[in-house]
Amino acid sequence: MTSPCEVHIYENDEQKARTLAQHILNMAKELEQKYNFYNPNAYLSALNQRKTNILDMQTKDLLTRAKLFYGKTDGIFDVTRGTLTQSRKLSSIEAIEEACKGLEPFIGVEHFKIKKNKLIFDNPHTLIDLGGFVKEFAVDQAVKLVKKEKVSSALINFGGDIYALGLKPNGKAFKVGIKNPLKPSEYLTGVEITNQGLTTSASYERNHSVEGKNYSHIISSSKLQDEVLSATVISSSVVESGVYSTALMIKPTLSTTLTKILIDKELKVLS
């Protein structure tokens, strides 16, 4: 999952907890191998390379939900932004911008359709990258495994994508800190959650520089809004939280009824 992951299971039966933790680990590894955009042997790569167009039920569900969220976020959350990923390997701003310009016409979920169990692209260039989706999906899947074993208290944290199941053993809600985007070792505030998913998207997470220009891991046709340094969203699922925290980084004014916490460039906490 390209980041530290942890699972806290509160259960009196130690063996049951260890077995459950191993099941979660196996599930996460399977998802990582299956949907790794950069692994030429991954199932997702086979779809992108047009070596197969057959969708299993899990992938069909993910892509269907991706199309749904594309509409709900006014086209901001777009799994086809991966079409531009390869351009980031170029060594100059001019080359990157030129490559992006040529690929822009092939971006948008309208460039692929799902017909029964088949994936159909309308061109050879569009690529699907589920990197902004799968880690969050893995947390939600982990929660399902925990619930199936009738464990009532757990905290799943995959690289800051968090779900708090139930209450802590002391009867209190789980408290999650919201980092200072300018100094991630510090926390600006915190929230208490129970039976909820929380994710944070921030400019400090992952980026690289080319000729002095920083390129964020959040690839968008819209410029990231400089006044918002991080966006945290709380909802009933980690997937939904992840979609909206990413979208709010690009468009802070995006309408949503979900609980959100935005940190502006003056480190003020907005909601």
Same domain, 192 and 263: yes
**Cβ proximity of 159 and 171 under 8 Å:** no
- The per-residue b/e assignment along 238-268, b for 16 or more CB within 10 angstroms, e otherwise, is bbbbbbbbbbbbbbbebeeeebbbbbbeeee
Residue 135 in domain: no
Same domain, 175 and 252: yes
| Residue 222 phi, psi (nearest 5) | -100, 145
CATH code (residue 53): 1.10.3980.10
Q: Given pLDDT bands bounded at 50, 70 and 90, which one contains residue 11?
A: very high
Say what the pLDDT of residue 168 is.
96
Runs of H (alpha helix) within 73-213: 93-103, 134-148
What are the pLDDT digits (tens) for 90-121? Answer: 557 777 788 788 899 999 999 999 999 999 99
Say what the pLDDT of residue 223 is.
52
Say what the pLDDT of residue 87 is.
66
Residue 81 in domain: yes
Show the CA angle centred on residue 130, arms to residues 71 and 79, nearest 5°.
Answer: 35
Residue 29 in domain: no
How many independent structural domains does the chain possess?
2
Say what the pLDDT of residue 217 is.
46
Residue 231 in domain: yes
Residue 22 in domain: no
CATH code (residue 213): 3.10.520.10
Residue 27 in domain: no
User: Mean of the pLDDT values across residues 53-75?
Assistant: 97
Q: Which of 197, 218, 249 lies closest to 79 in space, CA to CA?
A: 218
What are the pLDDT digits (tens) for 196-253? Answer: 999 999 875 555 554 455 545 444 444 555 679 999 999 999 999 999 999 999 999 9
Among 121, 140, 170, where does a domain finish? 121
- Which residue range is the domain that position 240 belongs to? 5-11+152-270
Say what the pLDDT of residue 26 is.
97
Say what the pLDDT of residue 211 is.
45
Say what the pLDDT of residue 91 is.
53
Residue 202 in domain: yes
3-state secondary structure of 200: strand
Q: Comparing 11 with 96, which gets the higher pLDDT?
A: 11
User: Mean of the pLDDT values across residues 118-145?
Assistant: 96
Same domain, 261 and 156: yes
Same domain, 220 and 110: no
Same domain, 67 and 167: no
Residue 199 in domain: yes
